[in-house]
Amino acid sequence: MKPSTPKGTRDFTPSQMRKRDYLFGVLREHFQTFGYAPIETPAMENLSTLTGKYGEEGDQLLFKVLNNGDFLAKADGVALEARDSKAALASLSKRGMRYDLTVPFARFVVQHQNELSFPFKRYAIQPVWRADRPQKGRYQEFYQCDADVVGSDSLLYEAELVRLFERVYTALGLKCVIRINHRGILAGLAESVGASDKFIEVVTAIDKLDKIGAERVGEELKGKGLTAQGATQLLEMLKDTSLKSWEVSLANTKEGEQGAKELKQVLEMVAAMNPAQRIEFDPTLARGLSYYTGCIFEVVVDTTAPGQEKIRMGSIGGGGRYANLTEAFGGRDMSGVGISFGAERIYDVLEEMDAWPDTVRTGRKILLAAMDEENLAWAFAKTDQLRSAGIAADCYPEAGKPKRPMKYADKEQIPYVALIGTREREAEQLTVKELTTGQQETLDLSGLIIKLS
């Protein structure tokens, strides 16, 4: 049998893990600086927590966990006989794998509402699972990195999360563009072309604009029941990227006016903090997720920035404000706003740009190698002293010719090798070779610690 991981999943090697740890570390650090506290929720949730939250399609993409024990004995015989998977499911599985971090978060907030103080700010970096058909950059197991705040409808948080986006991407060495819109603008737009009742359809159609073009979006809109005139007018209005003129054109729609007003405030706050950041109002930004109700964001790589011209990647982050997230779990009506970093995509971008810091390349800094058996214990003791000084040191486990440890250090990209023979032990000195330059010097332990610190 050829060993392999299940479809849509992958292993991470040490060199990949060092990069992932770095990326998650930058995220964690910024989340905490911005006042978000970590939480974790289980890999499995009760199926009742998950089903119905992602729409019909989402339910199909849930990984279900088979009940333990003699599950068939307790299964619904009628449904099994009829080969009706949907009907049989309830008696076969009561748990499912986490599909995203937002729904478990909503469950968490309601379940712990009496222990939490609001506004409650949390972040989470955890894998999620989807029974989707895998493609490049699309897996059945992948990590999500979310920061959310619930229990306040202050626009301060919209501005804060935009700042969090830019701070993180800047720390990673990436120039990005933050696109922003408001569901109210889209609602006002639908209202002004007489399609208020087709709001969801309008949103999902607009979401496809950059992908399939205005013409086909127009056709889709007409297919969904818009008048030809309404569809044309809608597409015409979307060409306008000036927030000022939207304020005017939507002044007679309640939601549209409110949306434009809120957007303006957020943009003003953000501009006051960092006028250099590219943040663009984009009325065509829709985001498919149905639960957004206020501002929505999406982050893309800035392809006008030096060194980033060739990057072709979809959004590397997104988010928005939602109302009533906790409603499904019987919580009181709480507004929230949150963002998500597309860690797997960011990884690919950093890989393409080779924008990793040097620290991800090396694990161990120095390898100590004894030439003969009687010096091995001394080499091991020196390794221990280096470790006590906080230096990632390792001792080659077999004494002998330098060839093996040298080759090992070369492959493992350990930058320094100390060869230890009787000469070194008797003089209490270490002969240290730097592999990239081939240069060699003799130092005592404290000198070596200073050199490698």
345 binds RNA (CB under 7 A): yes
Q: Which tokens hold the place of 53? A: 């939250």
What DSSP assignment string belongs to 320-363?
A: EEES-GGGGGT-----EEEEEE-HHHHHHHHHHHT---GGGT-S
- φ/ψ (deg, to 5) at 276: -80, -25
> Which of 440, 441, 444, 450 touches RNA (CB under 7 A)?
440
344 binds RNA (CB under 7 A): yes
Measure the CA–CA gap between 392 and 343, rounded to whole angstroms.
28
The answer to whether 342 and 316 have CB atoms below 8 angstroms apart is: yes
Q: How far is the CB of 79 from RNA (least distance, A)?
A: 18
The answer to whether 53 and 103 have CB atoms below 8 angstroms apart is: yes
Count of residues of this chain found to bind RNA when the rule CB under 7 A is applied = 56
**Which of 237-245, 277-285, 308-316, 325-333 is the region at the interface with RNA (rule: CB under 7 A)?**
308-316
Q: How far is the CB of 227 from RNA (least distance, A)?
A: 22
**In terms of DSSP bridges, do strands 176-182 and 278-281 run parallel, antiparallel, or are they unpaired?**
parallel
436 binds RNA (CB under 7 A): yes
51 binds RNA (CB under 7 A): no
Q: Which tokens hold the place of 126? A: 């955890």
Q: Which helix or strand (DSSP H or E) is residue 178 part of? A: strand 176-182
Radius of gyration of the chain (CA): 28
Q: How far is the CB of 396 from RNA (least distance, A)?
A: 12
String marking each residue 93-132 x if it binds RNA according to CB under 7 A: -------x-----------------------------x-x
Q: Is the CB of 76 or the CB of 132 nearer to RNA? A: 132
Q: For 275-304, what is the HEC assignment?
A: CCCEEEECCCCCCCCCCEEEEEEEEEECCC
> Which of 20, 208, 278, 365 touches RNA (CB under 7 A)?
208
Mapped onto helix, strand or coil, the DSSP state of residue 378 is helix
340 binds RNA (CB under 7 A): yes
Q: Is the CB of 159 or the CB of 217 nearer to RNA? A: 217
Q: Is the CB of 267 or the CB of 316 nearer to RNA? A: 316
Site residues for RNA, window 262-291 (CB under 7 A)? 288-289
371 binds RNA (CB under 7 A): yes
> Which of 83, 86, 211, 239 touches RNA (CB under 7 A)?
211
Crossing angle of helices 209-223 and 228-238, in 10° steps, is 160
Q: Is the CB of 256 or the CB of 336 nearer to RNA? A: 336
210 binds RNA (CB under 7 A): no
361 binds RNA (CB under 7 A): no
Q: Is the CB of 113 or the CB of 375 nearer to RNA? A: 375
> Which amino acid belongs to residue 439?
Q
Q: How far is the CB of 21 from RNA (least distance, A)?
A: 19
Residue linked to tokens 């009533």: 324
181 binds RNA (CB under 7 A): no
- What sign results for the dihedral spanned by CA atoms 178, 183, 185, 190? positive
406 binds RNA (CB under 7 A): yes
- What sign results for the dihedral spanned by CA atoms 208, 267, 37, 167? positive
Q: Which residues of this protein are in contact with RNA, per CB under 7 A?
A: 2, 4, 7-8, 57-58, 60, 100, 130, 132-140, 142, 144, 204, 207-208, 211-212, 288-289, 314-316, 318, 340, 342, 344-345, 371, 401-404, 406-407, 410-411, 417, 419, 421-424, 431, 433, 435-436, 438, 440
